[in-house]
Amino acid sequence: MKWAEVQRFFTEVKVEAKKVTWPAPAEAMQATIGVVVMVLLVALFLWGVDSLISWVIRKVMMG
């Protein structure tokens, strides 16, 4: 890749980045909190399913 192509690429990246509509800080915080809550809910759900499957397997194996 030639140096001119690299320069053109980064120039285009800069132009495109200026077109982005960035969220307000409050909106970004609200979205972040929503993501964290959803991650925690999915983690709890998966923990529950894993615990249930482990319990069932132990009951089947131990008799």
**Per-residue confidence (pLDDT) for residue 63, from 0 to 100:** 74
pLDDT tens, N- to C-terminus, the chain (63 residues): 689 999 999 999 999 999 999 999 999 999 999 999 999 999 999 999 999 999 999 999 997
What domain count does the chain have?
A: 1
- CB count, 10 Å around CB of 40? 10
Distance CA 25, CA 6 (A): 33
User: In whole angstroms, what is the distance from residue 31 CA to residue 23 CA?
Assistant: 10
The CA-atom distances, in angstroms, between 49 and each of 40, 42, 59 are 14, 10, 15
Do 23 and 31 form a contact (C-beta atoms < 8 A)? yes
For residue 7, what pLDDT is reported?
Answer: 94
Q: Which domain holds residue 10?
A: 3-62
